[in-house]
Structures are given as C-alpha cells and as structure tokens.
C-alpha cells in the first residue's frame, strides 16, 4: 500500500485544513497562517487547494506529491541514497 492509497482511504479524495493539520502535526490555525504567507510550504500546497464556497479543501493525492510523502521504490533509489541508508534488516 502506498502513502497515497493510505491517505485516500483515511481522508478520502479531499482533505480539510483540519486533516492537513493532523497529518503534519500542527494546529489548524497554524496551517491556515502558513498558507497565507509566502513560504516554500505555501507554494507547494496552494496548487492542491480547492475552494468550495467559503470552505477550503486540498486534493489528497496532490498533498502527497507536494509534501513528497511517497517512498521511492527500491529500483528508483540512487547509489548515493543506498549508501546513506545502511544495511537492510
């Protein structure tokens, strides 16, 4: 199961600000403030933002991509990354 599949099962196709805050371990107000400042975090998440009336949602799969939550498959690991990971258990 990939991270995207897990998040889709847990939150559905759209995440609220509370869901994103839970995922990041922040308060909803902290996420809201961070989104409306010009930071790297906000530039990554704003394309995933979707407004429905006054409510703000985030597309779950785009949040996964924006925050780089997917783990690379073993065949996608570069030799430099493999050297830093150490021996497998």
Domain range list for the chain: 3-67
Q: Is the pLDDT of residue 31 over 60?
A: yes
Assessment of whether the complete model's pTM goes beyond 0.95: no
Average model confidence (pLDDT) across the chain: 84
- Strands, DSSP E only, in 1-89? 14-16, 49-52, 55-59
pLDDT of 4 reads: 87
């Amino acid at each position: 199961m990939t991270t995207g599949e897990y998040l889709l099962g847990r939150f559905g196709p759209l995440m609220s600000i509370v869901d994103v805050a839970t995922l990041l371990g922040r308060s909803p107000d902290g996420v809201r403030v961070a989104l409306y400042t010009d930071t790297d975090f906000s530039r990554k998440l704003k394309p995933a933002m979707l407004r429905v009336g006054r409510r703000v949602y985030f597309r779950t799969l785009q949040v996964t991509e924006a925050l780089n939550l997917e783990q690379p498959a073993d065949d996608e690991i570069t030799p430099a990354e493999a050297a830093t990971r150490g021996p497998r258990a």
